[in-house]
A and B are shown apart, each in its own frame.
Chain A
């Protein structure tokens, strides 16, 4: 997960944002100084043990940042305003604050020009197309390397317990809402009888799981399961033939048997091509 976070952050941070990140760092620095200012304000009440009139380095930075009139000389900048007893001083604007204001304005103008008046920046949809292209490439490289390339033509039935257990787990997480706890069928059809809407057997089931039956409620699981996982769950489903669970849903579709070679037209085409 760590790597994905890092990837995500790197992909999504653009040039303009790097400028902003520097700005944030700058602002954080200011925040620290501001907090320090507050601390020293507290010190005015509870004076730290310090020689008279000795200015520390921090004091110097501070006064250059806030540019505030010392409290004992406040009278000099007290205005003649008096609103229900409220008076107003006329302290200088804190220089760091002014600098920050200018910096954000300059950044904003720069961002606007960069993204809308120069051809170098990517807007939302360009960003998206790039993201998709990178992902597709990475995916194909990965699958190539892993040999995880089983498809509806090459898929074979798992019969070992380990793969079937994995398949059962996948089934329980993803399939039970529509097909029932024991594949007896509820919203979706019963998967344990010999009747099949889209063909039985490992190849047909793999295909149905992978591409889904769009428009009829069956999701295309290829976006959520790996080819191997689809192979596992399809093998598990086929292993349930004849398990005859309670409350099985009534038959839907045609009888399927391996011998009749009733394969959906698409896969037939692929076979003849071979």
Chain B
């Protein structure tokens, strides 16, 4: 057979590596800032674009899609070419992919701080960016499959199975979750409402963790660990079973984010039991990674690359054990809405994704630049300060989460709640401070890495096109009787793609379809009515300011919650909520019944509280929202918003869009009038009026029934 010569594209790998390094610092820095805002609320600066509610999505998006996203593409573009013995399918597509992705990141950052958001966690980006993501993802897909199809290696290595599953599942999740109806260029409403929106969102959200943060990184692990350790993969048959089991089981687990909510019980149960069954498939990856190092432990002690990787895999094992535990209903009853969840995801993000990326960078940069790492000492320093940083980050938050949850649930012997919400916040403030110290250590480590890698890059020179040669694949493969049965699909990328899609579609279909079609899943409540135009505008401001990052709107059926907040939430109450705003974290109290009898406060209270929360609640860590008092409410789009709602089945009367603003003015005037009686002079056309109207409406409809 004739040898063909070709070259690997190292330049695109270098670009993704640079982007990974840049965004890692940006993402972590924003994380540090928002963690400090929880300790010192004045750091919100009283400016809209630097307030926690807007910066928190910036942090999560920067880490997930910018840092890990670029890290994933770096790992895939390097390993795929070598595993296929082929250059990337098309250099132009590579460039479009790279620059398109960076453009998306910048657009995301700009829109998020401007308050342009869909309000759905980890899917905050508005519809034009959603479309752009879809296009770039298709470009990536063509490049990925193009390369696979022109490969010079007959069989696909396990890393590529994971890359294929990643590509097809992320495409499915992103498209289905992003169904939204545009109102303006920067504003859309989720196509789904309430319970259905929540289910689709967490089916997406959970599997973003699975197929954006986990499967591509498992693929990367399968390439870079054996490479760095120079050891064979521990078990081929373990790879097979844990790959298929993982992708099949993962997709079902989404509802474990919605335990004890208004989601039907059967869906909650599915979320829980599939999470438990996920332990073994997840650990299959950990075992295969760690045991590949069997016989190479001497190297682990010497080599910073392997050190990072070992901690990464261990963190993966811990996080994937803890996740199922948190999915058990009685554990979740304690952990949900608290900082326990934040600690859990940071074991994954800092440990698994962060450390694996660092390990790959320390291995890859010297290889690409044909030199040695500038300083092993600095890399070791990074390893230790990073590891300590993780510990100092997560331990205080476990403590904070557990403490706060027990305080929320504590009753006195007289049968009353023992703690006000505020006192539970001030209790954990010191732990928030300790977490910031841990985060700073981790960031310092990353900065040291940046320095070390820049120095390394200066020492060497990039080999842009790396020559290689391999025989072409010719003719049909004649299989041998000794071949493992799984070899069949390893020769057929298209079948592998289709089977992966079938595997991940099953769980999604079984959970989503009945929730949409079976009426009894969401019993209607006759007294629940659509929002008034002013309340709808107020709700959109609530979304814009990211209130749901800290305030849930979902009261679980526990005595400790119904005593504090009022009647537990019912599925039928959310049927006009596009998008749902249940939230996932209670940094502040639940707001679902903020307008209800138990919690109702005068309009003046809300006004003063939004202007200066600490004057009403000393010790509160809520940011101030002074601009709501200054900015005029934009009513030019009220009609368009009502029309969009009507299109999605919200029962406003015909032609209501034309008179909606009259109702809006009328309601605004009455609120301004009431404020005036309480010595607060504010024009009725300010944004704060709409926000107050929305808050006063929250959770009140079911009381009208009686």
Q: Do A and B truly interact?
A: yes
A-to-B contact residues, CB < 8 Å:
1, 4-5, 8, 12-14, 17, 20, 24, 27, 38, 41-42, 44-45, 66, 68, 71, 74, 78-79, 81, 83-94, 97, 100-101, 104-105, 107-108, 111-112, 115-116, 123-125, 127-128, 131-132, 135-136, 138-139, 142-143, 146, 148, 173-174, 177-178, 186-188, 214-217, 219-220, 222-227
Which chain A positions have C-beta within 8 A of B705? none
A86 in contact with B223 given A97-B280, A220-B598 (CB within 8 Å): yes
B559 near A84 with CB under 8 A, answer no
A88 near B233 with CB under 8 A, answer yes
Additional A-B contacts beyond A92-B235, A111-B273 (18; CB < 8 A): A4-B406, A4-B410, A84-B223, A86-B232, A87-B233, A90-B235, A90-B236, A97-B283, A108-B273, A116-B266, A125-B557, A128-B568, A135-B559, A136-B415, A143-B414, A215-B597, A219-B598, A222-B416
B330 partner, pick from A4, A14, A115, beta carbons under 8 A: A14
Interface presence of B238 (CB below 8 A)? yes
Which chain A positions have C-beta within 8 A of B284? 97
A214 near B557 with CB under 8 A, answer no
A4 partner, pick from B155, B233, B334, B411, beta carbons under 8 A: B411
17 intermolecular pairs with C-beta atoms under 8 Å apart = A1-B406, A1-B410, A14-B330, A44-B295, A84-B82, A86-B233, A87-B232, A88-B235, A89-B236, A90-B235, A97-B238, A111-B273, A112-B269, A116-B269, A128-B558, A132-B559, A146-B414
A142 near B265 with CB under 8 A, answer no
Which chain B positions have C-beta within 8 A of A222? 416
Which chain A positions have C-beta within 8 A of B83? 83-84
Which chain B positions have C-beta within 8 A of A91? 234-235, 237-238, 291
A187 in contact with B678 given A93-B238, A131-B559, A135-B415 (CB within 8 Å): yes
Which chain B positions have C-beta within 8 A of A5? 406
B236 partner, pick from A1, A88, A107, A177, beta carbons under 8 A: A88
B605 partner, pick from A112, A128, A178, beta carbons under 8 A: A178
Closest-by-CB residue of A relative to B292 is: A89
Which chain B positions have C-beta within 8 A of A97? 238, 280, 283-284, 287
B297 near A45 with CB under 8 A, answer yes
Which chain B positions have C-beta within 8 A of A219? 598-599
Which chain A positions have C-beta within 8 A of B279? 27, 100, 104
Interchain Cβ contacts within 8 Å, total number: 200
B597 partner, pick from A93, A131, A214, beta carbons under 8 A: A214
Q: How many angstroms from the CA of A85 to the CA of B606 in the assembled complex?
A: 66
Which chain B positions have C-beta within 8 A of A132? 559, 562
Interface presence of B563 (CB below 8 A)? yes
Which chain A positions have C-beta within 8 A of B325? 24
B63 to A: closest C-beta gap in Å = 29
Q: How many angstroms from the CA of A209 to the CA of B559 in the assembled complex?
A: 22
Interface presence of B662 (CB below 8 A)? no
Interface presence of B518 (CB below 8 A)? no
A104 near B287 with CB under 8 A, answer no
A20 partner, pick from B155, B328, B333, beta carbons under 8 A: B328
Interface presence of B260 (CB below 8 A)? yes
Which chain B positions have C-beta within 8 A of A79? 236
Which chain B positions have C-beta within 8 A of A142? 413-415
Interface presence of B381 (CB below 8 A)? no
Q: How many angstroms from the CA of A190 to the CA of B476 in the assembled complex?
A: 92
Which chain B positions have C-beta within 8 A of A13? 330
B416 partner, pick from A66, A131, A223, beta carbons under 8 A: A223
Closest-by-CB residue of A relative to B233 is: A88
A121 to B: closest C-beta gap in Å = 10
Closest-by-CB residue of A relative to B607 is: A187
Interface pairs A-B: 3 shortest CB-CB: A139-B415, A101-B280, A108-B273
Interface string of B291-312 (1 = CB under 8 A from A): 1011101100000000000000
A85 in contact with B227 given A1-B410, A128-B568 (CB within 8 Å): yes
A81 partner, pick from B155, B235, B329, B617, beta carbons under 8 A: B155
A8 near B406 with CB under 8 A, answer yes
Which chain B positions have C-beta within 8 A of A90? 235-237
A223 in contact with B280 given A84-B83, A91-B235, A128-B568 (CB within 8 Å): no
Which chain A positions have C-beta within 8 A of B233? 86-89
Which chain A positions have C-beta within 8 A of B153? 83
B415 near A138 with CB under 8 A, answer yes
Interface presence of B601 (CB below 8 A)? yes
**CB within 8 Å of A: which B252-287 residues:** 260, 265-266, 268-269, 272-274, 276-277, 279-281, 283-284, 287
**CB within 8 Å of A: which B632-681 residues:** 678
Q: How many angstroms from the CA of A148 to the CA of B416 in the assembled complex?
A: 13
A114 to B: closest C-beta gap in Å = 10
B232 near A216 with CB under 8 A, answer no
Interface presence of B138 (CB below 8 A)? no
Q: How many angstroms from the CA of A74 to the CA of B233 in the assembled complex?
A: 11
Closest-by-CB residue of B relative to A148 is: B414
Closest-by-CB residue of A relative to B263 is: A124
A217 near B600 with CB under 8 A, answer yes
Closest-by-CB residue of A relative to B415 is: A139
Q: How many angstroms from the CA of A224 to the CA of B157 in the assembled complex?
A: 62
Interface presence of B375 (CB below 8 A)? no
Which chain B positions have C-beta within 8 A of A127? 557
A199 to B: closest C-beta gap in Å = 20
B241 near A135 with CB under 8 A, answer no
Which chain A positions have C-beta within 8 A of B418? 4
B295 to A: closest C-beta gap in Å = 5
A187 near B290 with CB under 8 A, answer no
Which chain A positions have C-beta within 8 A of B558? 128, 131
A217 in contact with B290 given A89-B232, A97-B283, A112-B273 (CB within 8 Å): no
